[in-house]
Amino acid sequence: MIGSLLAVLRRDLLLAVRQRGDVANVLMFFVIVVTMFPLGVGPDKDTLRLIAPGVVWVAALLSAIVSLGRLFALDYADGTLEQIMLSGQPLSLTVLGKIAAHWLVTGMPITVMSVALAMVFDMAAVPGGALVASLLLGTPCLSLIGAVGAALTLGLRGAGVLVTLLVLPLYVPVLICGALAVDRATAGLSPAPWLMVLAAFSLGATVLAPWAIGAALRVSVE
């Protein structure tokens, strides 16, 4: 089963490399959203530091939603998804491999880029570190929750709008916890409580989401 998971992970990473334009579009969207805010609110450093956590997290959230369209759609269109279901391997494990690949090509680069983007908002080292840590712990949850919405709307007309309506309310707690972690660090307090909440969200989603996604994919294919 581990071999199957690694094979799915490797396959999706290779597909992402071959279709790197789609991945680059998501990352450029994230960078553009973040960098436009300083131009709009002005160069005041205090204001930039104040809005930085929310801006970066909202941009990460929107980028995650934009990237969901390609998570299962291509496999559904060419019949690969049906072959995966007939392979005899646990569908939840296969789904976990696909979500891991999705996070590695979207969530991880977003987290890495946030190091440089924190400088755009003139963030100090400690709040900037809290921002990176919150994204590292929270973006897996975004991928997992988003995958549930992508599976539920697979094959439907207007799936992009539907998946946004489904997952956006579920993303809000992750967004709030991520922003609060950075706010605590900015105020000189420990961000650990909110970082642990984000870690709990991601761990809980890792356990529960693959089963829900597997059930949704079976319904969508049938």
Count of CB atoms within 10 A of residue 217's CB? Answer: 26
User: DSSP states of 5-72 as a string?
Assistant: HHHHHHHHHHHHHHTHHHHHHHHHHHHHHHHHHHHHH-S-HHHHHHHHHHHHHHHHHHHHHHHGGGSS
**pLDDT given at position 20:** 80
For residue 142, give every residue at least 6 positions away whose Cβ sits within 8 Å of its Cβ, in sequence order, or none.
Answer: 60, 61, 64, 107, 171, 174
pLDDT digits (tens, 9 = 90+) for 17-33: 888 888 888 889 999 98
pLDDT at 11: 87
Higher pLDDT, 198 or 159: 198
Minimum mean pLDDT range among 83-87, 173-177, 196-200, 203-207: 83-87
Q: pLDDT by residue (tens digit) across 109-151? A: 999 999 888 887 888 888 889 999 999 999 999 999 999 988 8
Write down the pLDDT at residue 202: 95
pLDDT digits (tens, 9 = 90+) for 1-15: 677 778 888 888 888
pLDDT at 8: 83
pLDDT of residue 88: 73
How much is the pLDDT for 173?
93
pLDDT at 131: 92
pLDDT surpassing 80 at residue 43: no
Give pTM, 2 decimals.
0.89
pLDDT of residue 75: 80
In this model, does residue 71 exceed pLDDT 90? Answer: no
List Cβ neighbours of 153 (8 Å cut-off, separation of 6 or more): 159, 162, 163, 166
Residue 92 confidence class, pLDDT cut points 50, 70, 90: confident
State the CB neighbour count (10 A cutoff) for residue 9: 18
